[in-house]
Structure 1
Amino acid sequence: MVNLRNKKVLVTGGAGFVGSNLVRTLVQKHGATVTVLDDLFTGDERNLAGVKYQFIHGSVENKSLVNDCVKGKDFVFHLASRNIIISNYDPCGDLNVNVIGSYNIFEACLEHNVKRVVYSSTSSVYGNPQILPVQEDDPKSFLNFYSASKYSAEVYAKTFYAVFNLPVTVLRYSNIYGDYQTPSNPYCGVIGKFMAAALAGEPLKVHGDGLQTRDYTYINDAVNATIAAAFHPKAIGEDYNIGTGVQTSVLEVAQAVIKLAGSRSVIQHVENRDIDNIRNRCICVAKAMEQFQYRPVFSIEEGLKATLQWAMQLTKTSTPPVLSNSLTA
């Protein structure tokens, strides 16, 4: 039973794409008292317009600030990180935020006896898996600094649990998309870019042949899983895949977006980027379904329809679109 009413919650990275959706749900649906810690590297407070929360501008690298933010909190959702694109350009910055910053969070949570900690990791830790769908205990392969740093923080989380019994849970998200993911930020995910291009009648740029697949997860499903993981006793000390168990090619997504938008846009194939080194991704979510009743509700078709409705509303407003990255193709 999820009961967050009047509970004190810290969300790191709470002004970003996933974080802002999580904060909105925590406040408006569950009645939590939420503090957001965000350095606004990719996040934007406009993502939280209309939501009641406390904002602290700063980085998880700042140990004393982290300690102050964690003190007195019942739950901590640690989503702050450098994203996959910037990580390869600045591996040291990636290390400092994703690993050292995570250590600071775990240590502060231990010191202040936080009831539950949820750490958001990534399905990128599996690299190019040999067998699909990939399960939590399958081999890991690190094809970029982002996956290496995120898994390193996973190891620290698990060690804090093993040594100090920190009540932490690790979630490996897979290609999340949806509301508040827009292309104004250069680190935007592929679906946000496709939506904007289709609505503007511009070409949808597909890297490579477009046959690479991903397990696309609608934001509402990811948020609900994140909150559920903070309450189930079996989730403590565990890691979980959060996705749909269904793979869809980038080309199929592009075609679907054009059709749903009624757009005259065409698909334009462009060269691969340095991060386009994972051919296929599909993750097994059986563990989360069994242990804390996770159920992905949105199919890719339903998720795209919902995202398109939001994107169309966004184009009707004068507020500049804002984003934090979560998705790469």
Structure 2
Amino acid sequence: MATKKILVTGGAGFVGSHLCERLAKDPNNQVYSLDNYFTGSEENHVPNVCYIKGETVDIAKLVNFIPDMVYHLGEYSRVEQSFDDIETVWRYNKDGIFAVLEFVRKAGCKILYAGSSTKFGDGGMGRSASPYAWTKATNTELVMNYGNWFNVPYAITYFYNVYGKREIASGKYATLIALLTEKMKHGEPLTVVSPGTQKRNFTHIDDIIDGLVLVGEQGYGDEFGIGSPESYTILEVATLFGGDIEMLPERKGNRMTADVISDKTQALGWSPTRRLADYVNMLKNNNWNK
């Protein structure tokens, strides 16, 4: 079988590192990561991956080979913080997507674009609720347009609240499950943003990667959601952990609900197999060490 060259943007990040790890296990794949290490880390490097440090806006200068496939995960990905980081959001999400799409157009390869489930938040109203949500929603339209204008093969996926090993656990870009785990480990109150009734569909990283690889190989078009059908309010999640709860003020851009659009992904044979409650129980049994 011919060797397949696969480029993952954001390959040193939480999701990207797991994707690189899975892809690199196939001896027929040559896996490359392009990451600017804004939230990625060298600690997330995995064997048999070639790491390129730089911005997606410079992809044409930094990548000196023609890939067979590009997984574009390397974008800014925080809702509430995006109000303060709007210049960074624009560079990483708008300037970046144009450069990546031009690159895949000229390379003649397929792109899998990691969209954001915020696009479906609050009945579709969430797509403009924050700079992050708007850039991601409009990027999906640009990817589709490139497919129509220039015959670029594409698939668009949507993640739903990913959790698991290598989550960011501290700082302003920390994700919820890792943050609560750290607080339990240190005996601190569990902070919940008001009102606490906002619902999320927490999806294990292994289920996300199963879906990403499958859609990358077989999916074409939009609306390949990768999300668990189980939803929890943030207060219910905090209750699973079992610590004292401290309510924080409401924050801009914080959607209440998001519909899981996973029919097309399930039609390819994907289904989630991990549950958040089992993961939290595993953490408890390990004294909150992952």
TM-score (norm 2): 0.91
Structure 1 residue 202 and structure 2 residue 188: aligned?
A: yes
Structure 1 residue 59 and structure 2 residue 35: aligned?
A: no
Equivalent of residue 246 in structure 1, options 216, 230, 234: 230
For CA contacts below 8 A with separation 6 or more, give which structure has more relative contact order. 1
**1:155-166 counterparts in 2 under 5 A?**
155-166=141-152
1:257 maps to 241
Greater Cα offset, 164-173 or 25-34: 25-34
Check whether the contact 1:98–1:149 (CA below 8 A) recurs between aligned residues.
yes
1:9 maps to 6
1:119 maps to 113
Structure-1 separation of matches of 2:193 and 2:36: 30
Structure 1 residue 46 and structure 2 residue 43: aligned?
A: yes
Q: Over residues 91-137 of structure 1, what are the superposed CA-to-partner deviations in whole Å (9 max), with x where a residue is unaligned?
A: 232122112211211111121122x21100111012312xxxxxxxx
Structure-2 separation of matches of 1:273 and 1:139: 16
Structure-2 separation of matches of 1:72 and 1:302: 42
Consecutive unaligned residues in structure 2, runs of 5 or more: none
Other structure's SS at 1:279 match: coil
Q: CA offset at residue 308 of structure 1?
A: 6.2
1:174 maps to 160
Structure-2 separation of matches of 1:110 and 1:287: 25
Tell me the amino acid that sits aligned with residue 300 of structure 1: L
Q: CA offset at residue 268 of structure 1?
A: 1.1
Structure-2 separation of matches of 1:18 and 1:288: 18
Structure-1 separation of matches of 2:164 and 2:49: 22
Structure-1 separation of matches of 2:287 and 2:140: 34
Other structure's SS at 2:170 match: coil
Equivalent of residue 80 in structure 1, options 74, 90, 108: 74
1:270 maps to 248
**1:98-177 counterparts in 2 under 5 A?**
98-114=93-109, 116-129=110-123, 141-177=127-163
**1:295-306 counterparts in 2 under 5 A?**
295-305=271-281
Other structure's SS at 1:73 match: coil
Other structure's SS at 1:171 match: strand
Q: CA offset at residue 312 of structure 1?
A: 4.3
Consecutive unaligned residues in structure 1, runs of 5 or more: 130-137, 259-264, 315-329
Check whether the contact 2:223–2:262 (CA below 8 A) recurs between aligned residues.
no
Other structure's SS at 1:41 match: coil
Check whether the contact 2:215–2:224 (CA below 8 A) recurs between aligned residues.
no
Greater Cα offset, 207-216 or 221-230: 207-216
Q: 1:228 to 1:214 in 2, by over 3 A?
A: same
Check whether the contact 1:172–1:241 (CA below 8 A) recurs between aligned residues.
yes
Check whether the contact 1:217–1:300 (CA below 8 A) recurs between aligned residues.
yes
Q: CA offset at residue 155 of structure 1?
A: 1.0
Other structure's SS at 1:94 match: helix
Tell me the amino acid that sits aligned with residue 20 of structure 1: S
Check whether the contact 2:127–2:137 (CA below 8 A) recurs between aligned residues.
no
Structure 1 residue 286 and structure 2 residue 263: aligned?
A: yes
Structure-2 separation of matches of 1:214 and 1:143: 16
Other structure's SS at 2:31 match: strand
Structure-1 separation of matches of 2:75 and 2:61: 16
Q: 1:99 to 1:10 in 2, by over 3 A?
A: same
- Aligned-residue identity in percent: 24
Tell me the amino acid that sits aligned with residue 237 of structure 2: V
**1:317-328 counterparts in 2 under 5 A?**
none
Tell me the amino acid that sits aligned with residue 178 of structure 1: G
Across the aligned residues of Structure 1 and Structure 2, the Cα RMSD in angstroms comes to 2.2
Tell me the amino acid that sits aligned with residue 188 of structure 2: E
